[in-house]
Amino acid sequence: MNDFTGNNIKTKATRIPWTPEEIALILNDYIVMLTLELKGEAFNKSAHNKKLQTFLHGRSHKSIEFKHQNISAVFAKHGLPYIIGYRPLVNYQKLLEETIIEKFCLSNTFEEALDIFTDSKIIKEDKAEEAHDYTKVLVDAPNLSETQEAKQTYKKRIPIKKNYIEQEQRNSRLGLLGEEYALNYERWRLQEAGKDSLAERIEWTAQEQGDGAGFDIHSYEYNGTDRFIEVKTTKLGERTPIYFSRNELEFSKQYSSVFYLYRLFNFSTTPNLFIKSGALNQVSRAETVSFIGRF
């Protein structure tokens, strides 16, 4: 018999649904680790897992790992940062989301860590100027079919005071450093292909013309045709959602054949980048999150 990850279930214990008490224990442990990560402090995931096993009798190391990934999926769904090392794993137990929403309150310590995390001071001044091996920066983009949320009927939301992911993206300094990093990557990409003249023509549009253009960088393909780039930067993991304006969406639709999303993540540690080409509502699952009321 296989579980939803395709792994063979070997023991009866792994088939037993997690109890509210077990969920509370692992959730508390997850918060401790996430708080440390947001503060930039080191911790040992394996040690935490081993300690949890002494309280969660019958839960294996792998089972606990999966549950941590399930928690990441719930956090990501509700606009909260998640532990980078635990990629979101959907099809989670309904009770998990219910418990997080109904019984979980953000502790003062955790909220303080979130505030520190979204503070621009955590980013190094020279992040975009550092010497980087760009051959290792680019990674495959997440497959949308693999990140579909579990079909849950539970529609309530975690009552958080702030949308920390949106707040982070609005951090102008983070955005500026991310754009500069992408600009340097583009110059390197073209220079590596022997297209120095094209590399010299790259325009940092957001800086030279302002934010209203609908994209951040005007670059080029190897044959000299246009490449319009929108850069979205996060210090979180690759599956952290992005926010984009109506202007950016409309521009990406109009120029979908030459429009590229450059998604920088893990930016405060070792930056990685994935690239998607096409309109923003095609390369991501676009959702309406705000409205304007006129009188």
pLDDT in tens, 241-293: 899 999 999 999 999 999 999 999 988 888 999 999 999 999 998 888 777 77
Domain shared by 111 and 167, yes or no: no
Give me the pLDDT at residue 160, please: 64
Domain shared by 49 and 14, yes or no: yes
Give me the pLDDT at residue 252, please: 98
Domain shared by 1 and 23, yes or no: yes
Please say whether the beta carbons of 109 and 158 come within 8 A: no
Domain shared by 264 and 287, yes or no: yes
Domain shared by 52 and 189, yes or no: no
3-state secondary structure at position 220? strand
Domain shared by 133 and 261, yes or no: yes
Question: What is the C-alpha separation between 275 and 77, in angstroms, rounded?
Answer: 22
Q: Give the predicted TM-score (pTM) of the model.
A: 0.78
Helix residue spans in the chain (DSSP H): 20-38, 45-55, 61-77, 94-103, 108-118, 164-169, 172-192, 196-201, 205-208, 246-254, 280-283
Boundary of a domain, candidates 118, 141, 171:
118
Domain shared by 142 and 270, yes or no: yes
Nearest to 239 by CA among 137, 145, 147, 160: 147
Boundary of a domain, candidates 118, 145, 162:
118
Residue 272, both tokens: 């990685």
**Backbone φ and ψ of 90, nearest 5°:** -85, -170
3-state secondary structure at position 2? strand
Domain shared by 153 and 295, yes or no: yes
Domain shared by 86 and 138, yes or no: no
pLDDT in tens, 137-170: 999 998 776 545 544 445 566 666 667 777 788 8
Give every residue of the chain whose pLDDT is below 50, as ranges: 1-14, 125-128, 147, 150-153
Boundary of a domain, candidates 63, 88, 118:
118
How far, rounded to the nearest angstrom, does the alpha carbon of residue 28 sit from its chain's CA centroid?
A: 22
Domain interval for residue 74: 1-118
Domain shared by 155 and 95, yes or no: no
Domain shared by 57 and 177, yes or no: no
Q: What is the CA radius of gyration of the chain?
A: 21
Domain shared by 149 and 254, yes or no: yes
Give me the pLDDT at residue 7, please: 44
How many structural domains does the chain have?
2
Give me the pLDDT at residue 131, please: 62
Quote the DSSP letter at residue 219: E
Give me the pLDDT at residue 293, please: 75
Please say whether the beta carbons of 41 and 96 come within 8 A: no
Residue 17, both tokens: 């649904």
Give me the pLDDT at residue 1, please: 35
Type of residue found at 29 = D
